[in-house]
Amino acid sequence: MRKLKVLLVLAVGLLPASRRKNGLLNRLGHQVHPTARIAPIVLLRVRTLRVGAGTTIGFMNKLRGLRLAEFGEETQIGPHNDFRASRPTGKISDEPEFVGVLKVGKVVFISKRHEIDCTGGVLVGDWAGMGGRNSFIYSHSYDPQRNVNTCGPTRIGRNSFIATKTILAKGATLPEGSILAMGAVLMPGASKTHTMYGGVPAKPLSVDITNWAFQQRTSMTPRNTKGTQFVPAELTAD
């Protein structure tokens, strides 16, 4: 029976976005708001999927092996992102309640083709954003000093922004209102809010971003000169 449910959820996940699809997912034990838009996605062995009102999950996102995948209201997830968790067997975590958990807040924007390892947990605050493509977020690693695999939550603070091709190591936190510059590698220990971090490993840069427009924005996605937002994520397979 359990294998049958896995196959049913996988099949429903591949259906086009519709209220009927949302209803089917709810009947299979998930919690999807009727106004959410979920394009064809790979939904494999996710214990609980929660999707808030007005949220869009784009084409061919992969959600695999998660205990919980939660997306807040009015959030936009672009196409071809990979959210996954490996089995925690043999891994040590200081915060076991976050093992296998993905929590994305309200009015968050994640563009496309990012890889997000949720083994130890990934927590994304409200109004945060991931731009560009090919960024990596890790929440587990190998500790050669103790010869063990470890995992722990990685956090992206409220109203912060991650540029393209960046890496967040297990246990790292991008503080509230901060920016991780292109190509940077963020290790644990960052604590200064409303700061731009850059370099390998990432350090605070001497750039004052406190008055930048993104700190006061009223819409998650940028607007072009005609005032129209980007094409909804579910309408593109790129």
Residue-wise DSSP of the chain: -HHHHHHHHHHHHTSPS-HHHHHHHHHTT-EE-TT-EE-S-EEES-SEEEE-TT-EE-TT-EEES-SEEEE-TT-EE-SS-EEE----TTEEES-GGGTTEEEE-SS-EE-SS-EEE-SS-EEE-TT-EE-SS--EE--EEEETTTTEEEE--EEE-TT-EE-SS-EE-TT-EE-TT-EE-TT-EEPTT---SS-EEETTTTEE-S---TT-GGGG-SSSS-B-TTSPBPPPGGG---
pLDDT the model gives residue 31: 98
- Residue 89, pLDDT above cutoff 60: no
Residue 35 in domain: yes
pLDDT the model gives residue 209: 86
Task: Give me the phi and psi of 188, to 5 degrees please.
Answer: -60, 150
- Mean pLDDT, range 74-92, rounded to an integer: 87
* CA-only gyration radius of the chain, Å: 18
- Residue 46, pLDDT above cutoff 50: yes
pTM of the model: 0.90
Going by pLDDT thresholds of 50, 70 and 90, the confidence category of residue 228 is very low
The fraction of the chain above a pLDDT of 90, given in percent, is 76
- Residue 80, pLDDT above cutoff 80: yes
Residue 238 in domain: no
Instruction: Find how far residue 95's CA is from the centre of its chain.
Output: 19
Instruction: Find how far residue 4's CA is from the centre of its chain.
Output: 28
Going by pLDDT thresholds of 50, 70 and 90, the confidence category of residue 1 is low
pLDDT the model gives residue 45: 96
Residue 223 in domain: no
- Mean pLDDT, range 221-238, rounded to an integer: 49
The CATH number assigned to the domain holding 100 equals 2.160.10.10
- Mean pLDDT, range 133-159, rounded to an integer: 92
Going by pLDDT thresholds of 50, 70 and 90, the confidence category of residue 92 is confident
How does strand 167-168 pair with strand 136-137?
Answer: parallel
Average pLDDT, whole number, for the chain?
90
Residue 231 in domain: no
Residue 222 in domain: no
- The string of DSSP letters for 62-94 reads EEES-SEEEE-TT-EE-SS-EEE----TTEEES
Angle at 157 between CA 121 and CA 80, to 5 degrees: 60
Going by pLDDT thresholds of 50, 70 and 90, the confidence category of residue 230 is very low
Provide the domain count of the chain. 1
Question: Which tokens sit at 144?
Answer: 């050669």
Residue 134 in domain: yes
Q: Which domain holds residue 49?
A: 2-214
Q: Over the stretch 113-124, which tens digit does the pLDDT of each residue have?
A: 999 999 999 999
Question: Which tokens sit at 50?
Answer: 């929660």
- Residue 223, pLDDT above cutoff 60: no
Cβ atoms of 136 and 102 within 8 Å: the answer is no
Q: Over the stretch 167-194, which tens digit does the pLDDT of each residue have?
A: 999 999 999 999 999 999 999 999 999 9
Going by pLDDT thresholds of 50, 70 and 90, the confidence category of residue 225 is very low
Going by pLDDT thresholds of 50, 70 and 90, the confidence category of residue 2 is confident
Residue 138 in domain: yes
How does strand 148-151 pair with strand 140-143?
Answer: antiparallel
Residue 234 in domain: no
Say what the alpha-carbon torsion angle 71, 132, 61, 142 is, to the nearest 10 degrees.
-90
Going by pLDDT thresholds of 50, 70 and 90, the confidence category of residue 203 is very high
